[in-house]
Every structure is written in C-alpha cells, then in structure tokens.
Copies of this chain bind each other. A is one copy, B any other.
Amino acid sequence: MDSLNIDEVNCQVKGWLKEARENIIHAFGNPLSVETKSSRVDLVTNMDKQTEKFLVNKIREFDPNAKILGEEGFGDNITNLDGTVWIVDPIDGTMNFVKQKDHFAIMIGIYENGIGKLGFIMDVMNDVLYSGGPENGVFANENKLDKPENTSLKDGLLGCSSPMLMMDYNHLQTIVKHSSGARVYGSAGIEFIHILRGQEIGYISHLKPWDFAAGKILAETLGITVKTIDGSELDMLQSANVLIATENAQEDILKLLNSF
C-alpha cells in the first residue's frame, strides 16, 4: 500500500491477533515441540514458527508490497526501512510460554519509512491487546490509556534482564539500588505492558528489533523514552542494550552512569 490506512490496519491486525491467540491456547492441549537456538535457554517451539507463518501470510495477503522482519525467519531479509516494514515477534517470552503457559506476548510493530505507526502487544493469557500509535493513542482492549506519571528512578520499580543484573552490566546493580527495586518477568512484551500501565518506571535489557519494535511505538506515544542505554537512538534493524524509561527515570539513570 502507498500509505497506511490506520483504521483499516488496526481492524485487520486485531482480527489476526485474536485468531493467533486462540490457536496458541488451543495448542496447549497438544505436545509442544521445543528446540534450542543460540543456547540452552534460547528456545523456539512449533507454536512460535506456526504463529509467525500465520501472521506473515496474513500480512502478505493484506499488503503484498510490505517488507516483513520476523524473529523466526519467515519474513524477508531486510537491509533498510524504506516503505512499509512489519516487524513480528510471534511469541515473546518463549521460555515463559514453555515453562509457565503464561506471561508471554504476540507483538507486531509497523513502520513507514522508519517512522513507527502502529504497535500491537497481545497479552495472550490475560486476553488484553495493547495497541495504537502516535495518530490514535494507546489502548488496552477498548480502554484508552493515560500517559503514565513521569516518575523518578527512586520512586519506581525497574524491569531488568537477569543476566545483566547478575553481571552488573553497566552498573545495573547501582541503578537498581537507587530505584524501588528490580523485577524480572522474562519477556520484553510483559515489561512494556507494565511500563505502559505505570507499574514500572523502566526496563533495561539486551533486545533484538522484534523485542522492541511494537513496544517502542506504544511507549513513545505515551511519553516514555525508548533508546539505547547511553541515550542514543535505536537502529530498528540492530540488537542493542535498550533502556525504556519515563523521562525522569532516564535522566536519573544517565546522571548516575555519568557519575562513574
């Protein structure tokens, strides 16, 4: 398509995510096929692959000219953000999905020439779809979300990657000690949801584009900063150490890091 019709895309994607969610829940009755990727704790299942294929097919049918970046590789080999780019994470939090059957999300971010237009995070087990973008605001199902309070680091909980927390990456332990405490939920999507709802003031983790593509659009729409941990812009085609935070918490964290 030449330019996104936001309402039409919104309506279409919501239907796909509803169907993808139902497929995942029905699949809980069947044995799961689990493989490892880069390490013992980097998992992929038949349902990650099946869900990505399902979404990629829907996108291609709806928008044949779209470029698609998908975690499991059923999309395209993308080298730039020209045109409409759909970034898909079929199951974010695969470890939680496998071990907990809870606390995971389906995520889609849609960019036009590098500009975030619409983001979708489906909290599968709670059946809540977070959706929206700069043109229409952010919704939890049908309820429009207010901007979360611009809370300082000391007054809020900080989502963390546990490997980073353990290795004290970039003084993360000091940052946590200046906050109200650390939380580790094991899914970028679930962390983004807590930030959108004002339940965390931020999240620090090493993320891939599909981990932050949808959440970045939703979070920025609500005044949350989504940058690298040193405050630079994210490259939507590269992994990065990402800091998602309220403006005040980001400022507090950058100040702390500069004091070392």
Which residues from chain A sit less than 8 Å from chain B, CB to CB?
40-41, 95-96, 99-102, 154-157, 160, 162, 165-166, 168, 173, 176, 180-186, 194, 199-200
Separation in Å of the A256 CB from the closest CB of chain B?
Answer: 16
Identify the closest chain B residue to A100 (Cβ).
B199
Knowing A162-B165, A162-B184, A165-B166, the reply to whether A199 touches B101 (Cβ < 8 A) is: yes
* B99 in contact with A156 (CB, 8 Å): yes
Q: Is the CB of A166 within 8 A of B176?
A: yes
Q: Taking chain A's interface residues, is the majority helix, strand, or loop, or is none over half, making it mixed?
A: mixed
Q: Are B183 and A185 in contact (CB under 8 A)?
A: yes
Shortest CB-to-CB span from A181 to chain B, Å, is 6
Q: How many copies of the polypeptide does the oligomer hold?
A: 2
Shortest Cβ distance from residue A93 to the other chain B in the assembled complex, whole angstroms: 11
- The complex places the Cα of A181 from the Cα of B205 at a distance, in Å, of 14
Q: Is the CB of A162 within 8 A of B182?
A: yes
Q: Which residue of B lies closest to A154 (CB)?
A: B40
> Quick one: which of A160, A165, A176 has the most chain B CB within 10 A?
A165
Residues on the B chain within 8 Å of A182, using CB: 162, 166, 184
Q: List 27 A-B contacts (CB under 8 A).
A: A40-B154, A41-B180, A95-B157, A95-B180, A95-B181, A96-B157, A99-B155, A99-B157, A99-B199, A99-B200, A100-B157, A100-B194, A100-B199, A101-B199, A157-B186, A160-B162, A160-B184, A162-B165, A162-B183, A162-B184, A165-B165, A165-B166, A166-B166, A166-B176, A181-B186, A183-B186, A184-B184
List the B residue with the shortest CB-CB distance to A185: B183
Question: Which residues from B are CB-within-8-Å of A154?
Answer: 40
Closest residue of B by beta carbon distance from A186: B183
Closest Cβ of chain B to A29, distance in Å, is: 16
Residues of B within 8 A of A180 (CB): 41, 95, 99
A-B contacts besides A99-B200, A162-B181, A183-B186, 19 pairs, CB < 8 Å: A41-B181, A95-B157, A95-B180, A95-B181, A99-B155, A99-B157, A100-B200, A157-B186, A160-B184, A162-B176, A162-B183, A162-B184, A165-B165, A166-B173, A166-B176, A181-B186, A182-B184, A183-B184, A184-B184
Report the bound CA distance from A229 to B168 in whole Å: 24
Query: How long is the Cα–Cα vector from A184 to B172 in the complex, in angstroms?
Result: 15
Report the minimum CB–CB distance from A147 to chain B (whole Å): 17
A35 → B minimal CB distance (Å): 15
